Amino acid sequence: MSLLLDEIALAAARLAEAGVESPRAEAELIAAHVHGVRRTELHAVPDASFDARFWEGIGRRAAREPLQHITGRAYFRYLELEVGPGVFVPRPETEVMTGWAIDRLREMDVAEPVVVDLGTGSGAIALAIAQEVPRARAHAVEADPIARGWTEKNVARVASAAPYTRGRVTLHSADFTGADFTGADFTGADLTRSDLTGAHFARPGVAAPGALSELVGKADLVISNPPYIPLGATVPPEVGEYDPPAALWSGADGLDAIRAVERAARRLLRPGGMVAVEHGAPQGAAVYWVFCEEAGWRDTRNHKDLARRDRFVTAMWPGERADG
């Protein structure tokens, strides 16, 4: 057995004592990151190349810093994304909802489907759709400037690896939870274009009549992984101490941002367009009724994640758009 694999075994025991759920796998991932190899190649790392940075990373993880902050990477469907302080780390549960959205977009009889990702964070959902749905155009909406910085990095990263995505992700600076999503937005009037990525970004100070006003009644799909944790709830240290608070907390029942998604979706969707919104496992019934028939929605459905827990709700907007 190599020295590195011995050290990984010791590190896994330390992570297990610290309460990390997958200690061996995470110790191996930290080692692979430090040595610049795939996890499956660790057995071939020479003993002489053992790097003390491995134990630094293990110490950080034992203190419950997220693995993705230590490696600087998060994996989402077929994407490798850059993440770090100030941006929500995408979760595997969101991949299930995104897969549902990709399947529905592929089924639509629309040449260039228009998608709005509300609260895009790292850009994971919007970029996955741009990568996997030919000719789809994704509008990624994010209010927080630090999170938008990570989105910009990931748009550039994905465009470099997959040039066919260039020009198909537009980043908007807007708060979808504010004032019925009708406040000033820095897009739609004077966009600039990045020569590297082909993505469009707003020039600060140029205001449009309303948030995403150019997309009102035109979106084929609105999708969101919004904040949905009730205020005062207990969360793991990796979440409460490292994810940005604006991406976590959402009112006394956790549904404030989801209600804002519902209002925004009614405004943005074309007749027959669809919405998909992630929620916490205990919230399935409550979110279902946010998208009820009395509010004008049809075909509302609960969907489960890989652990068979309620995870996201979808619905169809059948009639004339509503701005309300």
Q: Name the one residue in this structure whose structure tokens are 């692979």.
A: 32
Query: Mean pLDDT for each consecutive 10-residue tract of the chain (324 residues)?
Result: 80 94 93 87 71 89 94 94 94 95 95 96 96 94 94 92 89 83 38 34 37 89 96 91 92 94 94 96 95 94 94 90 45
Q: How far apart are CA 254 and CA 231, in angstroms?
A: 7
Q: Are 223 and 125 in contact (CB under 8 A)?
A: yes
Nearest to 277 by CA among 98, 123, 143: 98
DSSP state of 229: B
Domain boundaries, the chain: 3-63, 77-317
133 in Cβ contact with 102 (< 8 Å): yes
| pLDDT on residue 5 | 81
The CATH code of the domain at 77-317 is: 3.40.50.150
Q: Could you tell me the pTM of the whole model? A: 0.85
Query: Model confidence over 144-202: pLDDT tens digits?
Result: 999 999 999 999 999 888 888 888 999 999 999 876 454 433 333 233 333 333 333 33
Got the DSSP string for 127-177? Answer: HHHHHHSTT-EEEEEE--HHHHHHHHHHHHHHHHH-GGGTTSEEEEE--TT
Q: Which residues face 138 on adjacent strands? A: 115, 169
Cα–Cα distance, 308 to 53 (Å, whole number) = 38
Q: Name the token pair of 189.
A: 């009037």
| Whole-number Å distance between alpha carbons of 32 and 5 | 11
Q: Return the pLDDT at 179.
A: 66
Rounded to whole angstroms, how far apart are CA atoms 156 and 123? 11
Phi, psi of 137 (to 5 degrees): -120, 115
Distance CA 152, CA 169 (A): 10
CA atoms lying within 13 Å on the CB side of residue 290: 28
Decide: residue 111, CB within 10 A, 0-12 exposed, 13-18 middle, 19+ buried: exposed
The answer to whether 261 and 222 have CB atoms below 8 angstroms apart is yes
Task: Give the 3-state secondary structure percentages of the chain, helix then strand then coil, rounded to 5.
Answer: 40, 20, 40
Tokens 């020569």, residue located: 195
Alpha-carbon distance of 259 to 271, in angstroms, equals 20
Q: How far apart are CA 263 and CA 180, in angstroms?
A: 7
CB 113, CB 221: distance < 8 Å? yes
Q: How many CB atoms lie within 10 A of CB 221?
A: 28
Which sign, positive or negative, has the C-alpha torsion 212, 125, 84, 281?
positive
